[in-house]
Amino acid sequence: MIAKPSLPRRLITTDLPVILIIAFALGPYAWMFLTSVTTDQMLGAEGVALSPIDWVIDNYRRLLGRTTFLENLGHSLIVASGTVLVGLVLSVTAAYAFSRFRFPGRRFLLLQFLVINMFPIVLLILPLFVMMRRIGLLDTHAALIIANATIAIPFSVWMLTSYMNAIPTELDEAAMTDGCSRLGALARVVLPLCWPGIVATGIYIFITAWNEYLYALTLGGRNVRTMTVALQTLIGEYQIEWGLLTAGGVVGALPVTILFLIVQRRLISGLTAGAVKG
């Protein structure tokens, strides 16, 4: 029988390190929230307001009432949702092909998807800018959706391929024996079993597109300005309104946080199940 560690030992070896890690991870977000509910006068004189009595919502009122931040959030939502749709359609079909078919160059192509992620996205900005300008897609949602998909799809294909490899091919063959086509077997058999992995991949794509900045700055403009670019515009030339800026950071992080809390079980199960082969 394994003896349980004593309370002091457990506190020192387990509880205290976990508390320190959590505090280190959540500290910047807590500081950002405290800054957003502190007046500019108090920030300059005393620092952030630690007492709830001193908290104010003036920064949020100015952010939502005097700026176009809500409109910018709408642009980010359109771009992120469109990237999820395009990314999942291409990633699911590509992952199914890599998982179920054996063809010359299969391993090489999979390796290329991995190699793409090794290059910084800044290398792709100029070619994508020239391409979007020639086809007339600059400053549109479509340009940002296509650009963000170039980042998200390679890793998504790897993730879904690993997940589909854990599903026995006999299930596909049984479905096709009963009259299903190849696409029918994918839709009726593989996709329901892959649902946790698809949810996890979709959340990954959404978060990647939601937080993207370089493509949004380069390929967007006056008509399409996402949340990340809008936050940058809150930084003035001679001063920074920290209360307004942190309020924008809190509001911008809320949609992704709420989405994660809603689907966290499927996200965790999808990430872990994809790493185990059946």
Q: Which domains does the chain have, with CATH numbers?
A: 65-273 (1.10.3720.10)
Question: What's the pLDDT band for 271 if we cut at 50, 70, 90?
Answer: low
Which is more confidently placed, 262 or 214? 214
pLDDT in tens, 131-150: 999 999 999 999 999 999 98
Record the pTM.
Answer: 0.83
pLDDT in tens, 158-189: 888 888 888 888 888 888 888 888 888 888 88
> In this model, does residue 226 exceed pLDDT 90?
yes
Question: What's the pLDDT band for 238 if we cut at 50, 70, 90?
Answer: low
Q: Which of 21-35, 78-92, 127-141, 161-175 has the lowest mean pLDDT?
A: 161-175
Q: Let me know the angle formed at the C-alpha of 220 by 214 and 225, rounded to the nearest 5 degrees.
A: 95
At 163 the pLDDT is 84
> In this model, does residue 198 exceed pLDDT 60?
yes
Question: What's the pLDDT band for 267 if we cut at 50, 70, 90?
Answer: low
- Average model confidence (pLDDT) for the chain? 84
